[in-house]
Amino acid sequence: MPQVDLTVRVGGDSAAGGIVTTGEIVARIAAFSGLEIYTTRTIPAEIKGGHVMFQLRASEEPVYSQGDDVDVLIAFDQESIDNYHSLIKPNGFLIYNANDGKPPAEIGERIKQYGLPLNDLAKQINFTRGRNIITIGAMVKLFDLPYDKAVEVVKRQLGRKKELLDQNLLALKTGYDYVEQNISQESPYHLIPPSGGVQEERLVMSGNQALAIGAIAGGCRFYAGYPITPASDIMEFLAAEFPQINGTMIQAEDEIAAINMCLGGSFAGARSMTATSGPGVALMVEALGHATMTEIPVVIVDVQRAGPSTGMPTKVSQGDLRLAIFGAADDAPRIVVAPVSVEDCFYQMVNAFNLAEKYQTPLIFLSDQDMSVRVVTLPPFDMERVKLEPRLLWDPKTSSTNNNGASGNGSGTREYLRYKVTEDGISPMSLPGMPGGQYTAEGLEKAESGAPIYTPEAHTRNFHKRARKLANALKDYEAWKMYETFGDMDAPVAIVGWGSTIGPVKEAVLRAQSEGMNVAVLYPKLLYPLPVEHIGSFIQHREKIIVPELNFTGQFGRMLQAQFERDIVHLTRFGGTPLAARDVYDTIKQAYQELKVKA
C-alpha cells in the first residue's frame, strides 16, 4: 500500500533563505493534488539569521495535528541534521545538502539517506538562490507528486517576480531530473493523489487568513493596528482587501493609539477591530476598561506567543488567558472567545463581532502563534451560517420625550439616556449626527444620561448592569453552539480544553478508544463569561478530568479547579512548541492506570 500519511520536517538557516518557502510550496502542491495538509513552523525572532523549522503533514484522510514523529527530514545544513535526525522514524529517510552537511555515523542503515549536491546544482544553472526550489523538485519526484501541479504552484507562489520565474521553473526541473537520473533506490514514501470520483473543492489557507476573512464576513470595516509578530499578517491581509469593500485600515504609531482609534471607529458606528499579541494587549488594558465603562463594542485579537514580556515572539503559547479575562483596573468585564482550529477562526470571528455589537462590550479573541501560521486544507466556508447581529441603536422617532435620569442623579429631564438601566443591561446607542442623541462617553462612573456621578448607588447599579449583559451572552453560547464535544459521553475520564490543542486531543482520543480507554471531550469556545452550567454538568460524574493547555501554570485548569472545587489533571506544555498527541495519549493511559489501582 502506498504511504498516505506523511510527516516532513524542513530545517535550515534563515540567512540562506527559502526554508519556509520550501515547506509551503510542497504543502500546496500536495493540497492542490487532493491531499489533506497540516503545517507548523518556528522561525527566529532575529531580522536575519537563526534556525528555521517547517513541518508538513499530508494524508488522504483528515489530519488534526503536526504529527509526533518525522518520516522525512530535509536538512539544508549540518545544524538541522544534528538537531532532528533522532526524530526520524525507523526506515524513514533524510534528504540533505551534501555540500553543507554529513549525517552522523550512528544513523547507519536505520534511516535511508539521500544526499543532494544542492550548491553544485545551483551553480550549474547559474542560480545560487535556487537551492530550495531544486529541493522541491527532488521532493516532487521522490514523493510521486504531480509535476504539473508543482509547476502550477511555483507559478502561483513565485510568479510575481517575472524576471525570476523562468529560473525558478528551471531549478524545479533540475531537482526533479537529478532524482530521476541519479537515485535508483525507490523512496519508501509516496504521496499519490486520490484517484477516481469528483474532488471536493478545498481551500488552502492559514489561521490568520481565515481569521481576517471571518472579520470581513462579520462586518468589520475599520481596523487599526501596530505590527507585531505573529499578528501582522492579519493587518497585511486586511490592508489588501479593505479597499475593495470600502473598509479603512490604519497602521497606528503604537498599540495604545490603535485601540483608541478602534474605539473612535466603533463610537461612530463601524464594526472595529485591532490585532496584536500579549505585549500589545498589556498596553491596551486602560483602553479596554474605558470600552467597558463607555459600553463601546470592539474586537481585540490576541495571537498569543511565548512570554513573558517580549519572550519568544515566534513561538506558541496559551499564556494570555488570565490577562484576557482579568487584565483590568477593578472589575471590567469583557467577553473572551477562543477558536479551536483554522476553520473555526472564520466562524468564531463572526460570533465575536456579533457578541461585541449585541452586548456593547470589548471582546478579546484568543488565537495563538501555531494556529496563526498553520496552513491547512478546509472546505469552503458556509455563508448560510453567517448571520449578523445588529447593534441596538437609539431611534429618536420612537423615543419618549419624557424619560427621566436615574433617581438622585440631578440630570433632570432629557430625551436620550445613553446608559439607561434595562432588564438585559443593553441600552440603545446613538451615533454621531443623530438629532438629540448627544451624550458624554468618558471613563468616569456615570448616571443614565452619561453625566459623571459618584454615589455608591449609581456605582452598584452600573456594576449589575454590566454583569447582566455578560450573563445573557451565555444564552448565545448555547444557541450558537460555541463548543465542541466528541468521544464517549459516558466515559469516566474527561478532557476539557480550549483553543488549538483540540487537534492532538482528537488523535489521542481515537487511539485511546481503539484500545478500550473511553474519553469524553468538551472544548468551550466562550471562555468568559465561563459557561459554568454546561461545563459543570459535563464533568459532574467524571472520575478524572484532564485539562491540556500551552502554559506553565495551567491557567484554564486552575479556573475550573476554583469554580468547581474538583481535582484537575494538568497537562501543561510550554517552551514554545505545540502539544503532541503522544502527550495526551500518555496522560489518558496514566489516568486509566490510576483508576484501575483505585478500584
As given in the structure block, the three cell numbers for residue 468 are 447582566
Rounded Cα gap, residues 458 and 406, in angstroms: 8
Nearby residues of 408 by Cβ (< 8 Å), 6 or more positions away: 455, 457
**Same-domain status, 316 and 234:** yes
DSSP sequence for 111-146? SEEEEE-HHHHHHHTT-GGGHHHHHHHHHHHHTT--
Centroid of chain to Cα 2: 32
pLDDT of residue 408: 37
**H runs (alpha helix) in 38-192:** 78-84, 118-124, 131-142, 147-158, 162-182
Q: Among 246, 322, 328, 318, which residue's Cα sits nearest to residue 291?
A: 328
Coil, helix or strand at residue 415:
coil
Cα(395)–Cα(397) distance, rounded to whole angstroms?
5
Q: Is 221 contained in some domain?
A: yes
What is the CATH number for 85? 3.40.920.10
Which residues of the chain are modeled with pLDDT < 50? 1-2, 197-198, 401-413
- Among residues 385, 410, 430, the one where a domain terminates is 385
pLDDT number for residue 396: 82
Task: Report how far residue 392's alpha carbon sits from residue 389's, in angstroms, rounded to the nearest whole number.
Answer: 9
Those residues whose C-beta lies under 8 Å from the C-beta of residue 322, and which sit 6 or more positions away, are 555
Contact 526, 335 (CB under 8 A): yes
Please check whether residues 256 and 219 belong to one and the same domain: yes
3-state secondary structure of 583: helix
What are the two backbone dihedrals, phi and then psi, of residue 71, each rounded to the nearest 5 degrees? -80, -40
The C-alpha cell at 170 is 528551471
Residues 32 and 150 in one domain: yes
Same domain flag for 178 and 216: no
CA distances from 192 to 30, 36, 137, 149 (A): 9, 12, 16, 12
- Domain check: are 228 and 154 in the same one? no
What does the pLDDT read at residue 194?
Answer: 67
Its sign, for the CA torsion 397, 398, 403, 406, is negative
Residue 423 maps to a domain: no
Nearest to 79 by CA among 60, 114, 104, 46: 104
DSSP lists the bridge partners of residue 224 as 250
What does the DSSP assignment read for 485-527?
EEE-TT-SEEEE--GGGHHHHHHHHHHHHHTT--EEEEEESEE
Distance of CA 467 to the CA centre of its chain: 28
- Regarding whether 168 and 214 lie in a shared domain, the answer is no
- Same domain (yes/no): 135, 274: no
Q: Is residue 498 included in any domain, yes or no?
A: yes
Please classify residue 239 by burial: count the beta carbons closer than 10 Å to its beta carbon, then call 0-12 exposed, 13-18 middle and 19+ buried: middle
Cβ atoms 570, 554 nearer than 8 A: yes
Do residues 236 and 329 both lie within one domain? yes
Strand order in the sheet with 569-572: 483-487, 519-524, 493-496, 544-549, 569-572
The helix, strand and coil proportions of the chain, stated in percent and rounded to the nearest 5, come to 40, 20, 40
Instruction: Examine the domain organization and report whether 127 and 30 are in the same domain.
Output: yes
- Of 331, 356, 385, the residue at which a domain comes to its end is 385
Q: In angstroms, rounded to a whole number, what is the distance separating the alpha carbons of residues 169 and 149?
A: 12
Of 385, 419, 450, which marks where a domain is finished? 385
Instruction: Specify the CATH number for the domain of residue 585.
Output: 3.40.50.920
According to the model, what pLDDT value does residue 599 have? 77
pLDDT tens-digit map of 500-534: 999 999 999 999 999 999 999 999 999 999 999 99
Indicate if 120 and 213 belong to the same structural domain: no
Half-sphere exposure of 384 (CA within 13 A, CB side): 0
Residue 414 in domain:
no
Cβ–Cβ under 8 Å, residues 246 and 265: no
**Overall domain count for the chain:** 3
Reported as a single tens digit per residue, the pLDDT across 478-502 is 999 999 999 999 999 999 999 999 9
Separation CA 159–CA 379 (nearest Å): 26
Whether residue 582 is found in the same domain as residue 504: yes
Judge whether 354 lies within some domain. yes
Query: Which domain covers residue 145, as residue numbers?
Result: 5-182
**CA–CA separation, 583 vs 581, rounded Å?**
5
Nearest to 229 by CA among 314, 123, 155, 327: 314
The C-alpha angle 588, 89, 57, rounded to 5 degrees, equals 75
Instruction: Report the alpha-carbon distance of residue 4 to residue 314 in Å, rounded.
Output: 30
